Amino acid sequence: MFSGKLRSALVIGGQGIRARKLRTFLSMVSLFLGVLAVVAVQAGSEIAERAMLTDVELQAGKDGTLMGYIPGEKGASGIVETMLKGRSDAVAMISSQAIIGEPGVRPINEGGSPFEYAGRGGDYYGPQMICDASGKCTEQKEQEKKPAGQAIEVSMVALTGDIRQFKPFRPVSGTWLDFASTPSLAPRIVLNEEAAKGLKQYRVPGEMMIEGATHHVTPQIVGVVQDGNGQPRIYMRLDELRTWMPAAAEANDTNRFRGGGTQLEVYLQPGSEDLQQLMKAKLVGAGVEQNHLHFDTVNSKKRMQSELKIMRLIFLGMAFLVLLIGVAGILNVGLATVGERVEEFALRRAVGMSRMLLAGIVLAETLLTGLLTAALAIGAGAAGLQVALAMFGSRFPSLQGTAFPWEAGVAGVIAGLVAGVLGGLIPAIRAARIPIATVMRA
């Protein structure tokens, strides 16, 4: 019985929309901006969340990844390298410093700083004090300054495997490291954007000095990636580095203070707790202090949720105000339409139509109008996103490949239905209260 009344209300409501096209159009115009605002806010918040998360993943890794920090001492790098050799579920990043350019000179960006600070130098503030874990401090003599020359200092990262499964580096030009091919005697390196900027800005010889290496290296530059790091970095295969650097340089208090030595980061897939425990046991057995081993699960989205929630609520509040203006417009048109159709509604009551069905007809018209408006707003939002990506996508690499979020479509449909109910409820109640005697005025 109810389904029959609902079907009748929808059919008669649709007929009313066709009979009053101009008023339906005016109702849709007043409602369109409000629904579009809700769609835009929902789509914008979803896209912003994905973009922020993607940028964080470049540095911290994907959510769920087990990340470990290991001190580069007591043979830790050799242990990690041996354990992860040939594994695809875990990758180690072994970092140290390297200089590209003329040998025996002071780098333009001494210390591996970003190139915007290159050549500024620093003031002397007295002797440097190096303190060990026990708290004993010793004075370090100031290093003799080398002559300035054409060389840049970079952070060199040697990889045991493809790190992109954990850190989705975005390609800028060229190719990424091929871990399936045989090792090359001339190491292949991939630059980050800051390192590429330095090589483009300064003319330096293609010779690389690696801390702890037996000979200077002539690398092959195969590509450039965006890694989210503001300091110049290069990436290379660890097995190619071992041809020139048989063992990693041990980290001590002095070179650790100066940014040298070896630093290890290990990335494990979720569910690799057994490998983590085995690695900890071997490292502790080799003499690495257990409190210096730090393994954490990456959970960037959880940390950002509070900020994103506040931002979304603020913009949704503004969109709701715009939606209320549209509701006021559809309410005004609905009341005017009911006032003009008093005799029609009274006649329908006289021939036996119930008050509930009469109210349902008016409400069905506003609901259908709201759904039509929502469909147009969602289509306009999706088209606008594609146009924006085509025009500005190249400037924002994190937005490349972005699709219109389905959550925005759902929000638009809900906004259209809510606006239809709020805008049609009062006219529906007014139509249901029209007395039968009103038909006598016709």
Average pLDDT over residues 265-293: 87
- pLDDT (tens digit, 9 = 90+) per residue, 401-410? 677 777 888 8
pLDDT surpassing 90 at residue 427 = no
pLDDT surpassing 50 at residue 258 = no
Note whether 27 and 369 are within 8 A (CB).
Answer: yes
Residue 9 pLDDT class (50, 70, 90 cuts): low
Residue type, 131: C
Note whether 166 and 89 are within 8 A (CB).
Answer: no
Phi, psi (deg, nearest 5) at residue 342 = -60, -50
Q: What's the angle, vertex CA 441, arms to CA 439 and CA 442, rounded to 5?
A: 75
The pLDDT of residue 123 is 44
What 3-state class would DSSP assign to 184?
A: coil
The rounded mean pLDDT for the chain is 79
Residue 190 pLDDT class (50, 70, 90 cuts): very high
The pLDDT of residue 256 is 46
pLDDT surpassing 50 at residue 259 = no
Higher pLDDT residue, 385 or 221? 221
Average pLDDT over residues 289-298: 85
The pLDDT of residue 236 is 93
Average pLDDT over residues 121-126: 46
pLDDT surpassing 80 at residue 261 = no
Average pLDDT over residues 166-186: 89
How many C-alpha atoms does 70 have within 13 Å on its Cβ side? 32
- pLDDT (tens digit, 9 = 90+) per residue, 130-172? 555 555 566 555 556 777 778 899 999 999 999 999 998 988 8
The pLDDT of residue 232 is 93
The pLDDT of residue 177 is 93
Average pLDDT over residues 272-298: 86
**What percent of the chain is helix, strand and coil (3-state, nearest 5)?**
55, 15, 30
Share of the chain above pLDDT 70, in %: 82
Note whether 312 and 41 are within 8 A (CB).
Answer: yes
Q: Where are the alpha helices (DSSP H) in 221-269?
A: 238-241, 253-257
Residue type, 89: D
Higher pLDDT residue, 34 or 256? 34
Higher pLDDT residue, 350 or 107? 107
Confidence (pTM): 0.67
